[in-house]
C-alpha cells in the first residue's frame, strides 16, 4: 500500500512538472483567454490614448476603474477579499499586455498589485487585509510603496525615516523619494527605522492612509517617461498612526521590503516585455511599409538582423519571466529567477526601443510615431525596483551560494 501511495505522489509531481514545463511552451487556456482579453482592452482603450496621456501627464483614471472592474488591479487577491483569485503567471501576462498599450498604466497596475497589496496580503492580519486590501481591488483606490529616500535607493538598509512610539501611536518623521502613484494613492506602505542600533533589522513597515495629517506630498517629478503616473516625495512630519497600523512584526521591515520587491520584479519585467514588444510591433510594421532602394526595408539584412535580435531578446526575457512566475506560484524559491527576469526584460526593453527608433529613422525621433515614447518609457525599467546593477548582485549572490554547497 505504501509503495502505491509513493508511486502516485511521484506521478502527481511528474505531472505537475510536466504541466509547468508545458506552460513555458504554451500558456494554459485560461491564461490565453486572459491574454486576449487584456490585449483587446489595451488595443481599444489604451493604445489610442497613450500618446495624449504622455503629453498631458494625465493619470488614466477611467481606465484604472475599468481595469479594476475586470479584476486586474488585484489579480492575486483571493475572491473573498474582492480580488480575481488568479496566479502570478496570469499577473505577468496581464501586465505585459496592458503595458504594451500604455506603459504608464502598466506601472500603476503593477505598483498596486505587487508593491502595495503584495506585502499586506503576505504579512497583514485578517483585519488589515479587509481594511487595506478590499477597497483597493476595484480600481477606485490605488496604493503606493514608500521605501526609497533622498539619501538611499539601492542602499535600502540605511533608512533614515524614523518611527517612535508615543502612547498608543506611532509617530513617523522623514522623507521618502520617487514614490510612484503618490499623487493618486489613498494609502501607502512606509518603511521606517524603529530601532537604529539594530541597523537593517531595526526597520519596520507601516500602513498610512492618504491623505493624513502629518503626511504631505512633494512636487510631481517631471520625468523622461511613464509620464502619466505620478512620482513624488512623501514627507512625514510628526505623522501619527495607531499601533495597529504596523505591518508584520517589529523589525521585519527590511525582510518585508526585499520579499515584496522579489515579486515586484516579475511585474516590472512584464511591463518591460510589454514596452519591448510594442517597439518590435512598431518596427516590424514600419519595415513592411517603408520603401528604400526600391523595396520595403524589411528586405534589407541590416534591418532583418535588428528584428531578429529584438525578437530573441524579448522571447528569452519572456521565458525567464514566466519561469519566475511559475516558481512563485509553486511556492518555490524564485529570487534568482525574478532578478534574472527583471534584468533581461528591462535590458530587452531599452535595446528594442533603441533599435525601433533606428529602424524608423527620422520618423522614430518624432512624436507622430510611438517609438520615441517607448524609448523614454523603457529607460526607467532598468532603474526602479532594483537597478540592473543590484539585480546582478542578487543573481551572483544566489549562484555563488549554490556553488558553495
Give the integer Cα–Cα distance in Å for 286 and 290.
6
| Contact with another protein (CB under 8 A) among 29, 127, 168, 222 | 29
Give the 3-state secondary structure of residue 369: coil
**Interface stretch with another protein, choices 65-73, 149-157, 221-229, 281-289 (CB under 8 A):** 65-73
Q: Please give the torsion angle defined by the CA atoms of residues 224, 228, 232 and 236, in that order, rounded to the nearest 10 degrees.
A: -170
Q: For residue 221, what is the DSSP state?
A: P
Q: Is 30 in the site for another protein (CB under 8 A)?
A: yes
| Contact with another protein (CB under 8 A) among 13, 17, 32, 165 | 32
Phi, psi of 192, rounded to the nearest 5 degrees = -140, 155
- Closest contact distance (angstroms) between CB of 229 and another protein is 22
Q: Is 291 in the site for another protein (CB under 8 A)?
A: no
Q: Is 79 in the site for another protein (CB under 8 A)?
A: yes
* Smaller CB separation from another protein, 136 or 206: 136
Q: Is residue 385 annotated as part of the catalytic site, yes or no? A: yes
Q: Identify the active-site residue in 97, 221, 385, 389.
A: 385
| Contact with another protein (CB under 8 A) among 24, 70, 162, 363 | 70
Q: Residues in contact with another protein, total (CB under 8 A)?
A: 21
Q: Is 84 in the site for another protein (CB under 8 A)?
A: yes
**Interface stretch with another protein, choices 67-75, 182-190, 195-203, 336-344 (CB under 8 A):** 67-75
**Interface stretch with another protein, choices 26-34, 54-62, 148-156, 253-261 (CB under 8 A):** 26-34
Cell of 35: 491574454
- Closest contact distance (angstroms) between CB of 45 and another protein is 9
- Closest contact distance (angstroms) between CB of 34 and another protein is 6
Q: Is 34 in the site for another protein (CB under 8 A)?
A: yes
Best CA proximity match to 161, nearest among 123, 205, 128? 205
- Closest contact distance (angstroms) between CB of 27 and another protein is 12
* CA geometry: angle 148, 82, 264, nearest 5 deg: 25
| Contact with another protein (CB under 8 A) among 69, 198, 243, 393 | 69
Ranges of beta strands (E only) in 344-396 are none
Q: Is 66 in the site for another protein (CB under 8 A)?
A: yes
| Contact with another protein (CB under 8 A) among 46, 49, 50, 75 | 75
Residues 6+ apart with CB under 8 A from 401: none
**Interface stretch with another protein, choices 50-58, 63-71, 215-223, 231-239 (CB under 8 A):** 63-71
Write the DSSP assignment of 36-74 as a string of letters: HHHHHHIIIIIHHHHHHHHHHT---HHHHHHHHHHTGGG
Give the integer Cα–Cα distance in Å for 190 and 196.
16
* Smaller CB separation from another protein, 91 or 178: 91
Q: Is 71 in the site for another protein (CB under 8 A)?
A: yes
Give the integer Cα–Cα distance in Å for 151 and 174.
11
- Closest contact distance (angstroms) between CB of 403 and another protein is 41
Please write down the long-range contacts of 130-133, taking CB distance under 8 Å and 24 or more positions apart. Answer: 130/81, 132/187, 132/207, 133/74, 133/77, 133/81, 133/82, 133/83
Q: Is 48 in the site for another protein (CB under 8 A)?
A: no
Give the integer Cα–Cα distance in Å for 405 and 401.
7
- Closest contact distance (angstroms) between CB of 87 and another protein is 10
Q: Is 322 in the site for another protein (CB under 8 A)?
A: no
Give the integer Cα–Cα distance in Å for 6 and 135.
45
**Interface stretch with another protein, choices 36-44, 200-208, 312-320, 322-330 (CB under 8 A):** 36-44
Whether residue 50 contacts residue 100, with contact meaning beta carbons closer than 8 Å, is answered with no
Q: Is 33 in the site for another protein (CB under 8 A)?
A: yes
Whether residue 397 contacts residue 403, with contact meaning beta carbons closer than 8 Å, is answered with no
- Closest contact distance (angstroms) between CB of 95 and another protein is 13
Whether residue 361 contacts residue 287, with contact meaning beta carbons closer than 8 Å, is answered with no
Q: For residue 212, what is the DSSP state?
A: B
- Closest contact distance (angstroms) between CB of 341 and another protein is 22
Binding site for another protein (CB under 8 A): 29-30, 32-34, 36-37, 40-41, 66, 69-72, 75, 79, 84-86, 90, 94
Task: Indicate which residues carry an active-site annotation.
Answer: 385
Amino acid at each position: 500500500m505504501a509503495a502505491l501511495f509513493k508511486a502516485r505522489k511521484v506521478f502527481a509531481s511528474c505531472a505537475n512538472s510536466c504541466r509547468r514545463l508545458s506552460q513555458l511552451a504554451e500558456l494554459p487556456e485560461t491564461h490565453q483567454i486572459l491574454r486576449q482579453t487584456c490585449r483587446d482592452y489595451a488595443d481599444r482603450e489604451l493604445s489610442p490614448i497613450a500618446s495624449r496621456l504622455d503629453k498631458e501627464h494625465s493619470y488614466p483614471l477611467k481606465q484604472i476603474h475599468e481595469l479594476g472592474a475586470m479584476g486586474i488591479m488585484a489579480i492575486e487577491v483571493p475572491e473573498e477579499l474582492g480580488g480575481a483569485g488568479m496566479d502570478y503567471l496570469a499577473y505577468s501576462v496581464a501586465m505585459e499586455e496592458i503595458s504594451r498599450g500604455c506603459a504608464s498604466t502598466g506601472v500603476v497596475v503593477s505598483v498596486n498589485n505587487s508593491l502595495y497589496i503584495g506585502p499586506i496580503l503576505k504579512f497583514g492580519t485578517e483585519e488589515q487585509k479587509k481594511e487595506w486590501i478590499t477597497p483597493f481591488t476595484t480600481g477606485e483606490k490605488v496604493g503606493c510603496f514608500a521605501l526609497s529616500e533622498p539619501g538611499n535607493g539601492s542602499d535600502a538598509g540605511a533608512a533614515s525615516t524614523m518611527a517612535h512610539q508615543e502612547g498608543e501611536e506611532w509617530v513617523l518623521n522623514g522623507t521618502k523619494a520617487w514614490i510612484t502613484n503618490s499623487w493618486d494613492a489613498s494609502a501607502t506602505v512606509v518603511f521606517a527605522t524603529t530601532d537604529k542600533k539594530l541597523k537593517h533589522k531595526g526597520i519596520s513597515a507601516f500602513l498610512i492612509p492618504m491623505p493624513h495629517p502629518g503626511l504631505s506630498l512633494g512636487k510631481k517629478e517631471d520625468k523622461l517617461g511613464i509620464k502619466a503616473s505620478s512620482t513624488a516625495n512623501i514627507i512625514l512630519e510628526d505623522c501619527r498612526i495607531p499601533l495597529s497600523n504596523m505591518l508584520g512584526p517589529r523589525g521585519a521591515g527590511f525582510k518585508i521590503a526585499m520579499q515584496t520587491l522579489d515579486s515586484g520584479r516579475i511585474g516590472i519585467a512584464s511591463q518591460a516585455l510589454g514596452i519591448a514588444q510594442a517597439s518590435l510591433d512598431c518596427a516590424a510594421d514600419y519595415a513592411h511599409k517603408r520603401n528604400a532602394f526600391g523595396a520595403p526595408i524589411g528586405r534589407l539584412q541590416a534591418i532583418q538582423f535588428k528584428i531578429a535580435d529584438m525578437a530573441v531578446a524579448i522571447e528569452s526575457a519572456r521565458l525567464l519571466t514566466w519561469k519566475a512566475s511559475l516558481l512563485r506560484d509553486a511556492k518555490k524559491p524564485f529570487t534568482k529567477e525574478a532578478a534574472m527576469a527583471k534584468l533581461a526584460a528591462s535590458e530587452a526593453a531599452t535595446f528594442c526601443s533603441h533599435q525601433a527608433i533606428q529602424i524608423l529613422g527620422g520618423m522614430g525621433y518624432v512624436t507622430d510615431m510611438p517609438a520615441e515614447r517607448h524609448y523614454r518609457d523603457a529607460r526607467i525599467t532598468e532603474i526602479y525596483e532594483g537597478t540592473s546593477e543590484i539585480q546582478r548582485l542578487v543573481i551572483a549572490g544566489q549562484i555563488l551560494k549554490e556553488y558553495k554547497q
